[in-house]
Amino acid sequence: MSGTRIGLPSVMLAGAIACAAAASAQHYPARPVRVVIPFAAGGPTDILARLLAQRLSESTGQQFLVDNRAGGGGTIGAQVAARATADGYTLFLGGITSLAMAPHFHRNLAYDPFKDFAPISTLTQQPIMLTVHPALPVRTVTEFIALARAKPGAIDYASSGIGGSGHLAGELFKSVTQVRMVHVPYKSAAPALTDLTAGQVHVMFGTMLASAPLVKNGKLRGIAVTGQQRSAALPLVPTFAESGLPQYDASSWNCMVAPAGTPAEIVARLNAELVRTVRDPGVLDRLRSDGSIGTGSTPSELAEHIKAESAKWGKVIRDAGIRIN
């Protein structure tokens, strides 16, 4: 009997906490929500973030504000988000770079992708496109490989930063084709594309969200894209498989996570909003026109996806012998 008396307050307290959490989620969000972006304004992740922030602001009645925290190949923004209060008012629009690749580059990473974040949903998948400056005398993958082999080390390839998806896509390409190229990292995709269009660098491996418009207007030339099918954004650009390189498989992706400990009810609310948003026909069409694919998932599916991608790219990084610190 005494055990029952001692346990009753604990049960009542637990029930009160559960009711408070449910009530909090029911009225969430009650104030503006910060969405941390680990790259500078103007790049593909920023473009996606602002599209989603606008839609979420409209559907929830509260502002979702983009907070660009560029640097460290996406790790600075991730660290900021990981240390934020776990109340649903700070989210992190992460992806392949910060959540699957960074742990294999950094010996002393200031966050743990698996322990410090609560998965919410996948958002998009983006094929990687091999893009060149029009002055480079190649129009096919075969011609590009031949040129790179004829001039080992003479071709520069740009990326959004060391350890980013474009960097690793380039390293994977070098491994598969046995060519030598020089990596030129930038702080984000936007300045890399600026220098590519100016002819300061020759090549870039990157997502299509920011580069597709430049290919459409002729400022850049698309050579090939990853994936099983051609992109609706650039239907004349063949896949790597069509181009005779089916073993080259690389794509980028984005997702939304929150600091670990964020109430499950709030995670569920955010998941429902995000999945509805990225699967909305208008959003899907907008993403498709820019070369991106809207996805959406359950939190557990996202957790498994991050785990599988971490294993895949960890091997690429080890094989290439890349280490940042």
Which of 31-40, 126-135, 225-234, 256-265 is predicted least confidently?
Answer: 225-234
Domain of 308, CATH number, reads 3.40.190.150
DSSP state of 200: S
Same-domain pairing of 213 and 165 = yes
Write down the H helix ranges in 178-280. Answer: 189-198, 208-216, 264-278
Does any domain span residue 34? yes
Same-domain pairing of 43 and 86 = yes
Helix, strand and coil content of the chain, in percent to the nearest 5, comes to 45, 20, 35
Domain count, the chain: 2
CA proximity to 201, closest of 168, 160, 171, 142? 160
> In this structure, what token pair is assigned to residue 318?
């080890």
Same-domain pairing of 267 and 289 = yes
d(CA 120, CA 303): 9
Same-domain pairing of 107 and 44 = yes
Same-domain pairing of 77 and 139 = no
Distance of CA 259 to the CA centre of its chain: 17
d(CA 65, CA 81): 14
Same-domain pairing of 202 and 153 = yes
Does any domain span residue 246? no
DSSP state of 244: T
Same-domain pairing of 78 and 113 = yes
Average pLDDT in the 250-269 region?
A: 96
Same-domain pairing of 113 and 146 = no
Same-domain pairing of 60 and 100 = yes
Does any domain span residue 56? yes
> In this structure, what token pair is assigned to residue 121?
């949903």
d(CA 166, CA 96): 10
pLDDT category at 190 given cuts 50, 70, 90 is: confident
Does any domain span residue 203? yes
Domain of 150, CATH number, reads 3.40.190.10
**Contact (CB, 8 A) for 28 and 249:** no
Same-domain pairing of 293 and 312 = yes
Q: Say yes or no to pLDDT of 5 above 60.
A: no
The answer, as to whether pTM is greater than 0.85, is no
Does any domain span residue 280? yes
Same-domain pairing of 114 and 133 = no
From residue 234, give the alpha-carbon distance in Å to each of 9, 212, 252: 63, 7, 17
Among 40-44, 47-51, 188-192, the range with the most confident prediction by mean pLDDT is 47-51
Q: For residue 133, give its domain range.
A: 127-225
Does any domain span residue 3? no
d(CA 311, CA 75): 18
Average pLDDT in the 117-135 region?
A: 95
Same-domain pairing of 213 and 77 = no
In three-state secondary structure terms, 301 is helix
